[in-house]
């Protein structure tokens, strides 16, 4: 389908994408104002977050980009199977959590698990996701003016040639952004029906699970496990390492971690840390999981649904071999800080180059490659960044954990809510409280959240911030910038900010209560 000279509106794009996905049509969707005959400054193989932002930036700088993607839409895995459904699930989990705690009280009806269906939420997502895809296609063509060929798997021929939709495209540079796929641990029985990952959950779930076993201890395991459990599907999480102590997460503060994990246990999630799945049981369909407990005993968990949340593996095989790209021990394409691979003129970006597998990194890798191709010399260091995950809460953190700070600084000051004071009955303290935790604050105070600031008492600089509650993600983006800039952010700066009272502004007001002291002490 050649849409080069057409100007589809959003509904028309939605229709094109849905029909293509539903029928499995292999007809390419082509937007090539010059018929694809030019030599492009860069061909972006993969139009996910990395490829789309890279191509848009290169175009904005006056360059000529082409995107080729095998899906009939731009934007990649995020709006199709990853971040966007995860946020929907987490929103639903938070709503259901309130309903369950307040069942039959105030205006809440009696908790009725039959009303909370995992399949209904997935159906809702599938019905809506094409509108996001439609917007990406429309914006990239009409506003960003980037050439693209969609619904067309690309075959890299050499460092300047890519074949797709029966056409050979030439580029002075290649930018590879083909993403990652869910990792499937080598456990006997893992391929049985009833075993899902974040992608197949969206595409293939055809029954309502009644119990769930989640394998993994990182973000996806906690997020999806919390959602499944919130719907009333009794959930067990099996993790070799303690939850949130997987190598994909850094700077996780122990106080924050225990608030999160205790909260999950309090809600009835069965958490087996230090445990190992031995076999997925069942003849054809899953009927259980055999697990080795930390003390070496074997235990059998009965379940009709297994969810793998064990991370992702870069799709390096597909593009790596033909070009002779260097691939690292975790299956990632190896790049330098300019996103250059070992092959001149070939760049790699996003999930393909390994962790952290996050949107900010994918998009900024794309922009870094584009800028270097266009003659800037730009390095991108993504070793420090703000991070978050969801349980039935939003959990955010940035900078050093308390434990990390104590390893490098002599005088570490902690400002925390609830305060850590030996023997104090903080379970009755309705603080911190803020938007979306007010009901908890008044009826179940111990559920109303957790906040911690880690400060270097000598320089008075904020070293880290940690938060469990709602609505702090936005602030953490700016806190990240402020604490990592050369002059940092001091307790005095923070205490002098203007709070919008009763949101996660406790960091401001608590800092102000201590900032007057020349020698800082804990609060
Ligand atoms: P992708 O977006 O995966 O794009 C790769 C593209 O390459 C795809 O469009 C694919 O069709 C295309 N492709 C592959 N092979 C070919 C080929 N041969 N020819 C042509 N095209 C090809 N990050 C966050 O920051 N916040 C979140 O809340 C968040 N939630 C997440 C939840 C889940 C469950 C998961 C799994 C991830 C989440 N992430 C989140 C991570 C985020 O989704 C990824 O880091 C990001 O999407 C990576 O972008 P990318 O461009 O590298 O790859
Ligand atoms: C967001 C996709 S869901 S992209 O990063 O805007 O391409």
Vertex 454, ends 450 and 456: CA angle to 5°? 165
* Least distant ligand from the CA of 317: 1
Predicted confidence (pLDDT) at residue 92 exceeds the cutoff of 90: yes
* Pairing mode of beta strands 234-239, 270-273: parallel
Local confidence band at 154 (pLDDT 50, 70, 90 cut-offs): very high
Question: Residues with catalytic annotation?
Answer: 74, 78, 83, 133, 501
Predicted confidence (pLDDT) at residue 150 exceeds the cutoff of 80: yes
Give the tokens for residue 286: 């899953």
What's the chain's average pLDDT?
97
Closest ligand 1 atom, residue 352 Cα: 52
Local confidence band at 94 (pLDDT 50, 70, 90 cut-offs): very high
Residue 224 vs residues 92, 202, 231, 289, 342: alpha-carbon distances, Å: 11, 12, 11, 18, 37
Predicted confidence (pLDDT) at residue 175 exceeds the cutoff of 90: yes
CB distance 150 to ligand 1 below 6 Å: no
Give the tokens for residue 373: 């191709």
Bond before 153 cis per omega within 30 degrees: no
Bond before 418 cis per omega within 30 degrees: yes
Rounded Cα gap, residues 256 and 16, in angstroms? 46
- CA 376 – ligand 1 centroid, Å: 26
Closest ligand 1 atom, residue 156 Cα: 18
Residue 16 vs residues 22, 124, 221: alpha-carbon distances, Å: 10, 19, 34
Interhelix angle 219-230/254-266, nearest 10 degrees: 30
Closest ligand 1 atom, residue 179 Cα: 53
pLDDT single digits (tens) 100-123: 999 999 999 999 999 999 999 999
Residue 247: what pLDDT?
87
Predicted confidence (pLDDT) at residue 279 exceeds the cutoff of 90: yes
58-72: average pLDDT: 98
CB distance 356 to ligand 1 below 6 Å: no
413-427: average pLDDT: 95
Helices (H), 398-505: 402-408, 438-443, 473-484, 491-495
Predicted confidence (pLDDT) at residue 311 exceeds the cutoff of 80: yes
- CA 359 – ligand 1 centroid, Å: 8
| Residue nearest (by alpha carbon) to ligand 2 atom 2 | 75
> 9-29: string of b/e by CB count within 10 Å (b at 16+)?
eeeebbebbbebbeeeeeebb
Indicate the top mutation candidate among 44, 50, 52, 132 to test ligand 2's pocket, ranked by most ligand atoms within 8 A of CB: 52
227-239: average pLDDT: 98
Closest ligand 2 atom, residue 49 Cα: 5
Local confidence band at 206 (pLDDT 50, 70, 90 cut-offs): very high
Indicate the top mutation candidate among 82, 183, 394 to test ligand 1's pocket, ranked by most ligand atoms within 8 A of CB: 82
47-66: average pLDDT: 98
CB distance 171 to ligand 1 below 6 Å: no
């Amino acid at each position: 389908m050649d849409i080069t000279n057409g100007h589809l509106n959003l509904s028309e794009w939605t229709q094109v994408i849905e029909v293509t996905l539903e029928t499995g049509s292999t007809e390419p969707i082509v937007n090539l104002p010059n018929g694809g005959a030019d030599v492009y400054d860069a061909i972006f193989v993969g139009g996910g977050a990395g490829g789309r932002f890279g191509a848009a930036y290169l175009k904005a700088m006056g360059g000529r980009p082409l995107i080729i993607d095998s899906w009939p839409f731009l934007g990649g895995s995020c709006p199709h199977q990853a971040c966007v459904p995860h946020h929907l699930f987490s929103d639903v989990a938070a709503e259901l959590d309130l309903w369950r705690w307040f069942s039959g009280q105030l205006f809440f009806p009696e908790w009725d698990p039959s009303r909370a269906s995992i399949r209904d939420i997935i159906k809702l997502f599938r019905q809506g996701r094409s509108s996001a895809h439609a917007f990406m296609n429309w914006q990239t063509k009409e506003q960003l003016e980037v050439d693209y060929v969609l619904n067309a798997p690309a075959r890299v021929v050499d460092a300047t040639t890519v074949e797709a939709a029966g056409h050979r495209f030439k580029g002075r540079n290649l930018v590879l952004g083909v993403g990652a796929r869910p990792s499937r641990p080598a456990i006997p029985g893992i391929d049985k029906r009833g075993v899902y990952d974040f992608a197949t959950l969206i595409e293939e779930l055809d029954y309502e699970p009644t119990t769930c076993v989640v394998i993994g201890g990182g973000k996806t395991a906690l997020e999806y496990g919390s959602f499944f459990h919130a719907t009333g599907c009794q959930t067990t999480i099996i993790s070799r390492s303690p939850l949130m102590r997987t190598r994909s997460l850094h700077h996780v503060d122990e106080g924050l971690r225990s608030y999160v994990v205790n909260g999950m246990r309090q809600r009835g999630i069965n958490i087996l840390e230090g445990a190992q799945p031995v076999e997925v049981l069942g003849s054809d369909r899953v009927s259980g999981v055999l697990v080795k407990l930390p003390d070496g005993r074997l235990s059998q968990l009965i379940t009709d649904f297994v969810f793998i949340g064990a991370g992702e593996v870069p799709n390096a095989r597909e593009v790596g071999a033909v070009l002779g790209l260097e691939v690292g021990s975790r299956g990632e394409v190896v790049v330098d800080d300019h996103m250059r691979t070992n092959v001149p003129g070939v760049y790699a970006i996003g999930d393909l180059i390994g962790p952290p597998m996050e949107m900010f990194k994918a998009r900024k890798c794309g922009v870094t490659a584009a800028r270097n191709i266009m003659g800037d010399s730009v390095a991108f260091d993504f070793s420090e960044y703000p991070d978050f995950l969801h349980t039935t809460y939003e959990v955010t953190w940035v900078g050093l954990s308390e434990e990390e700070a104590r390893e490098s600084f002599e005088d570490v000051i902690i400002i925390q809510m609830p305060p850590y004071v030996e023997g104090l009955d903080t379970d009755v303290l309705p603080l911190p409280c803020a938007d979306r935790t007010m009901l908890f604050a008044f009826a179940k105070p111990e559920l109303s959240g957790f906040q911690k600031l880690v400060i270097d008492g000598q320089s008075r600089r904020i070293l880290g911030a940690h938060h469990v509650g709602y609505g702090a993600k936005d602030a953490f983006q700016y806190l990240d910038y402020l604490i990592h800039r050369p002059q940092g952010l001091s307790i005095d700066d923070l205490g002098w900010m203007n709070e919008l009272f009763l949101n996660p502004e406790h960091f401001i007001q608590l800092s102000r209560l201590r900032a007057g002291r020349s020698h800082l002490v804990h609060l």
